[in-house]
């Protein structure tokens, strides 16, 4: 009998060419599928919750696959883990409802963009791989005021490259929060789905506002223009991390938030 297996993974995206398998490239999907094939003794086609770009990290990336193997999921996690490189880990493996689909079942995702704000590079704190270093003066209050304009069911055409636009560029952003933690400014964006480079372009646009290049109230006009050239630059990939993905509890049989320490999702 076929079973649907849920995998929760974390990875340092620095040495990966993104999530999606690509011929001749080291990708997260490719490494995971190769490990699963060796453990399960059959080919596996992973369905991912999203395709992170090259250099983007994940603390709670979810994928799913079907298998007829009878191995217990607790043993499966350990068996996969022993075959993975040090920059990729499977945090959890469990059998879920047959209707579970890592992409289509997702209710929302949260991405975090980290900005190290200071004159000195973050090497001394071992954060150079995970935070974008910005030495320019930043006003996070202006940034937070601008971030509020990204919340809602909006057309994010101006936040994605022309050549990568989908049939529809309308997406729902549930929250876009800006907070300072010492010398680090964090942008948390939760939404039900994202376009290619959307969050990184939102971050670049907010950085321009924080630097005084644009005004917080310019954001609605930028979005209304649907013109990519009106938005800020695409912020570097290494500052971005997929923190968690939310799913309906009935498809998982347990709390649906992927990041440890967060409350269960509402039903």
Which one from 12, 34, 43, 53 is the annotated catalytic residue?
Answer: 53
Name residues whose C-beta falls within 8 Å of residue 32's C-beta, 6 or more positions apart in sequence. 7, 9, 46, 63, 80, 84, 88, 90
| Catalytic residue status for 87 | no
Q: At what angle do helices 198-210 and 140-147 cross, to 10 degrees?
A: 140
Spell out the residues 6+ positions from residue 189 whose beta carbon is closer than 8 angstroms to its own: 110, 111, 112, 113, 150, 173, 175, 176, 199, 202
Contact 150, 189 (CB under 8 A): yes
Cα–Cα distance list, 90 to 11, 94, 109, 239, 242 (Å): 9, 11, 19, 22, 15
- What is the Cβ-side half-sphere exposure of residue 116, based on CA atoms within 13 angstroms? 19
Interatomic CA distance for residues 150 and 218, integer angstroms: 11
Torsion of CA 243, 247, 253, 254, to 10 degrees: 40
Instruction: Please list the active-site residues.
Output: 53
């Amino acid at each position: 009998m076929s079973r649907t297996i849920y995998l929760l993974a974390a990875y340092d995206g620095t040495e990966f060419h993104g999530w999606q398998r690509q011929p001749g490239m080291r990708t997260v999907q490719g490494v995971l599928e190769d490990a699963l094939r060796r453990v399960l003794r059959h080919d596996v086609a992973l369905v991912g919750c999203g395709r992170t770009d090259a250099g983007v990290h994940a603390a709670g990336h979810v994928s799913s696959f079907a298998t007829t193997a009878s191995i217990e999921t607790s043993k499966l996690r350990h068996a996969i883990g022993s075959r993975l490189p040090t920059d990729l880990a499977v945090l959890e493996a469990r059998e879920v409802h047959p209707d579970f689909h890592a992409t289509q079942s997702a209710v929302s995702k949260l991405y975090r963009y980290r900005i190290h704000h200071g004159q000195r590079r973050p090497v001394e704190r071992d954060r150079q791989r995970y935070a974008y270093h910005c030495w320019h003066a930043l006003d996070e209050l202006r940034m937070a005021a601008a971030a509020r304009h990204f919340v809602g069911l909006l057309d994010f055409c101006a936040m994605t490259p022309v050549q990568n636009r989908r049939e529809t560029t309308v997406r729902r952003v549930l929250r876009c929060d800006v907070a300072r933690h010492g010398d680090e400014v964090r942008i948390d964006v939760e939404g039900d789905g994202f376009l290619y480079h959307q969050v990184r372009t939102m971050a670049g646009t907010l950085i321009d506002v924080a630097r005084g290049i644009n005004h917080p109230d310019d954001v609605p006009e930028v979005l209304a223009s649907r013109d990519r050239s009106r938005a800020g630059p695409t912020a570097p990939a290494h500052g971005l991390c997929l923190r968690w993905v939310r799913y309906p509890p009935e498809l998982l049989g347990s709390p649906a938030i992927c990041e440890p320490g967060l409350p269960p999702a509402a039903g």
